[in-house]
Amino acid sequence: MVKIYDTTLRDGTQAEEISFSSTDKLLIAEKLDEFGIHYIEGGWPGSNPKDMEFFELAKRLNLKNAKISAFGSTRRANMPVEKDANVIALLKAETPVVAIFGKSWDLHVKDALKCSLDENLKMIYDTVSFMKEHDREVIYDAEHFFDGYKRNPEYAIKTIKAAEEAGADVICLCDTNGGCLPFEVEEIIEEVKKHISAPLGIHCHNDTECAVANSIMAVKCGVVHVQGTINGFGERCGNANLCSIIPNIVLKMGIECIPLEKLRGLTNLSRFVYEIANIKPWPHQPYVGKSAFAHKGGVHVSAVMRNPETYEHIRPELVGNRQRVLVSDLSGRSNIVYKAKEFGLDLDSKDPVVQEVLEQLKVLEHQGYQFEGAEASFEILIKKAMKKFKPYFDLRGFRVMVEKRRREDEPLSEATIKVETPLGKQYTVAEGNGPVNALDKALRKALEEFYPNLSEVQLVDYKVRILDEYAGTSAKVRVLIESTDGKRRWGTVGVHENVIEASWQALVDSIEYKLMKDEEEGREIVNKDLKDKS
C-alpha cells in the first residue's frame, strides 16, 4: 500500500499567491481527512505563530483517516538537541507525527550550515532519536537528496543511514530543486535500496515539469510514501500534484492507496482547495480540470457518443468529473445533438434545425462569439432555432452616461432604460460604479417588480476580450458574463465594437436564461399581485 502525505498546508503555502488563515487550514484538513489522505502536514511550529495556532486548534478535529504532522529541521550545529528551541516547538505541537528535514548535500552542509560533515550526521541522528524517545512517528525528509547523491553519493547515503539508525519510520528522498528526470530517480532509488531497509518516501518539486512523473517512477521502484500538494501548489513551479499522482497510482498502477469510493471526491477536493485559496481553477488540469474530459472536434464527439473509451483514458466519474462536449466552429452535427440532449431537448442529427444551428454557430464564431464558456447563450440559441424560446421583455431604448468633472474626481456612471413587459412600459434610472454596472442595475430595477426572481441573480464574473488588437479603440470586443442564483451558475456572451452593446447582449441572455429555467422548473416567475391587476 502507498500512503499519501499531504503538505498543502505547509509547502503549498510557499506559493507566492497563497496565504491560508488558521481557519482555512482547518477547513482543508477536514476535507483531506474526509477524502482519505493518510498524513496532513500542518506547518512548521517553530517558524510562525499562525502555524502554532493551527496545531492548537487541530487538536479539536475529529479526524477519521489522517494523522496530523508537524514539520521542522534537525537541531542546530553544536547545540544539544534538548536545548534547541525549534525542536522543542515540534514537541509542543503535540502531533503524533513529525517530519524532520536534514541536509543530504555536502554543499549545503559546508555553505549553508557551515559545519563539518560529521556534525551534520550527528544532528540528523540526535534529532530523529530524540523524537523517537518522545513516542513520535518520524518521517525523515532527506532534503536535496538527489542533487546530493549526484555530487557525493557516499555522503548522501551516510545521511539517510544516520536517520535509519536513529529509528526513522520513513526515509523520504527529496528532489528539492525539482531538477531530476524520471530515469535519474529510478537509478538513484535502486542504488539507495541496496543500503537502506527502512520504508522509502518521495518528495518532488516541479521545476522540470516532472514532479508527477518522478513520483510515479519512485512508486514503481517500491516507494510506499508519497508527498505532494493538492493542485500542485508550492514554491516556484510547485510541488508534485496529488490530484494526478493519486489516480495514477490507483487507476493506472492498480496499487492500493485511496479507496475507489473516496476517489470520486477528487474533483470536489481540488475545487474546494482552489476556492479556499481564492485561485481560479486551472481548466486543463489532468483528471480534475473542467476541460479534462471536454471534446470539441466533431470527429471526436461522434466517436465519444458511440463509445467514450475512444477519446477518454478513464471514465470521468471515477474521479468525480464529467464528460463535456463543446460547441465551436469546429463542431459537427454530433456536437449539436449532444448539447441539445444535455439541455433536455430531443433533436435528431437529420433534423434541419441541427444544420441551421451549425451554420449559425460558424457564422457567429467568425464574428467573434465563443460559446465554450457561455453555454446559457448557446442553449438560448438552440431554443430560438427550435421556436421554443419566448422573449420576456422588449427594449424600447437605453442611454448610458459617464461624467467626470475634474481630473481628481471619480467618474460618475448613470444608465436610463425603457423596457416593455407584459404589463406595459417600465422606465428607470440607476447609477453604478461603471457604465456596465449602471446598465445592469437599471435593467434589474426595471424588471424586478414584474419578475421578482431576478433579485436572486448575481453577476460573479465579467471578462472583456479584445478580438482585434490592431484596431485600437475601435476593436471588436467579446464580453463573457458568469451569473449565479445560488443554485446554478451560467455563462453568457456578447460581441460588438461597442463594449456597452456587447455587455448588453450578455446581460439580456443572463436574465432571460434565469427566467426561462425557473419557468421550466415550474416556479412562479411573475409578481402575482401585478399579474392579477393586469
The domain boundary, picked from 381, 414, 431, lies at 381
Query: Does one domain contain both 163 and 249?
Result: yes
Count the helix, strand and coil residues of the chain and give each as a percent rounded to the nearest 5.
45, 20, 35
pLDDT at 238: 97
Query: Does one domain contain both 375 and 423?
Result: no
pLDDT at 348: 81
Query: Does one domain contain both 430 and 485?
Result: yes
Give every strand in the sheet of 412-421, ordered side by side.
Answer: 394-403, 412-421, 424-432
157 within some domain: yes
Query: Does one domain contain both 232 and 94?
Result: yes
Q: CA 58 to CA 64: how far, in whole Å? A: 13
Q: CA 119 to CA 123: how far, in whole Å? A: 6
506 within some domain: yes
pLDDT at 90: 95
Query: Does one domain contain both 443 and 526?
Result: yes
Q: What residue ranges of the chain have pLDDT lower than 70?
A: 297-298, 301, 326-332, 469-474, 528-534
Residue tagged 479534462 (cell numbers): 292
pLDDT at 405: 85
Query: Does one domain contain both 465 and 412?
Result: yes
pLDDT at 505: 96
132 within some domain: yes
CATH number at residue 320: 1.10.238
Query: Does one domain contain both 320 and 433?
Result: no
User: For 103-181, where are the alpha helices, taking DSSP H only?
Assistant: 106-108, 117-133, 145-151, 153-165
CATH number at residue 21: 3.20.20.70
Query: Does one domain contain both 188 and 84?
Result: yes
Residue tagged 452593446 (cell numbers): 501
443 within some domain: yes
311 within some domain: yes
Domains held by the chain: number: 3
288 within some domain: no
CATH number at residue 516: 3.30.160.270
User: What range defines the domain where residue 311 resides?
Assistant: 294-381
400 within some domain: yes
pLDDT at 367: 87
pLDDT at 202: 98
| 3-state SS string for 270-298 | HHHHHHHHCCCCCCCCCCCCCCCCEECCH
Which helix (H) or strand (E) covers residue 444, if one does? helix 435-447
Instruction: Residue 51: name the closest of 88, 107, 93 by CA.
Output: 93
The domain boundary, picked from 324, 346, 381, lies at 381
pLDDT at 469: 65
pLDDT at 500: 93
